[in-house]
């Protein structure tokens, strides 16, 4: 899971793996790793999910995908790229990370999650916001709070990894 800080990566992972939501925000430093076993088309798959620390918009001019983040990505099979629908800057960060992933890891399935859909009155994204995301496997709106599309996004990516694009 990649994206800007406070986009909801940890909350989405917690909702998917544990079925919980915690209002408290804690910044991820480095990486948090969790696992979940899912059933896909009569096949049991163990997902190992890496929640990688968020990119800071202040770093955009320097390098959002830092060397520590790059080290975590070795051997990855897919990406859930998270943007916060209530913060326009996070979509720019997601676009930058997506561009880097497409260059460095061509062929890796990437799904864009537009998170915090439960806060529609604060939504700052529109269709133009999604320009520059060529080659995405899929885009979903999600809510870690309500659980909207959370299970669906993880299993969609798992199916893409197991059965190919």
pTM of the model: 0.88
Spatial separation of the C-alpha atoms in residues 150 and 140, rounded to whole Å? 9
Give the integer Cα–Cα distance in Å for 92 and 129: 8
Which pLDDT score is estimated for 46?
Answer: 94
Rounded Cα gap, residues 138 and 98, in angstroms: 13
- Predicted local confidence at residue 32, as pLDDT: 84
**pLDDT tens for each residue of the chain, 165 residues long:** 999 888 999 999 999 999 998 877 676 666 788 999 999 988 899 999 988 777 766 554 445 555 666 777 888 999 999 999 999 999 998 998 899 899 889 999 999 999 999 998 888 877 788 888 888 999 999 999 999 999 999 999 999 998 876
CATH 3.40.630.40 fits 2-163, yes or no: no
Where in the chain are the domains?
A: 2-163
Q: What is the pLDDT of residues 111-127, one digit of tens each?
A: 999 999 999 888 887 77
């Amino acid at each position: 899971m990649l994206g800007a800080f406070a986009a909801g990566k940890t909350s989405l992972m917690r909702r998917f793996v544990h079925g919980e939501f915690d209002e408290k925000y804690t910044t991820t430093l480095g990486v948090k790793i969790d696992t979940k076993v899912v059933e896909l088309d009569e096949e049991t798959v163990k997902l190992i999910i890496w929640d990688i620390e968020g990119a800071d918009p202040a770093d955009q001019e320097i390098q959002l995908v830092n060397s520590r983040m790059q080290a975590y990505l070795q051997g990855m099979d897919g990406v859930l790229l998270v943007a916060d629908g209530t913060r326009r800057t996070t979509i720019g960060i997601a676009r930058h990370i997506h561009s880097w992933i497409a260059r460095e890891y061509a062929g890796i399935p990437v799904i864009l999650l537009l998170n915090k859909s439960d806060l529609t009155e604060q939504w700052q994204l529109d269709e133009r916001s999604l320009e520059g995301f060529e080659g995405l496997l899929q885009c979903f709106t999600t809510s870690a709070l309500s659980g909207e599309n959370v299970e669906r996004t993880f299993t969609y990516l798992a199916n893409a990894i197991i059965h190919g694009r």
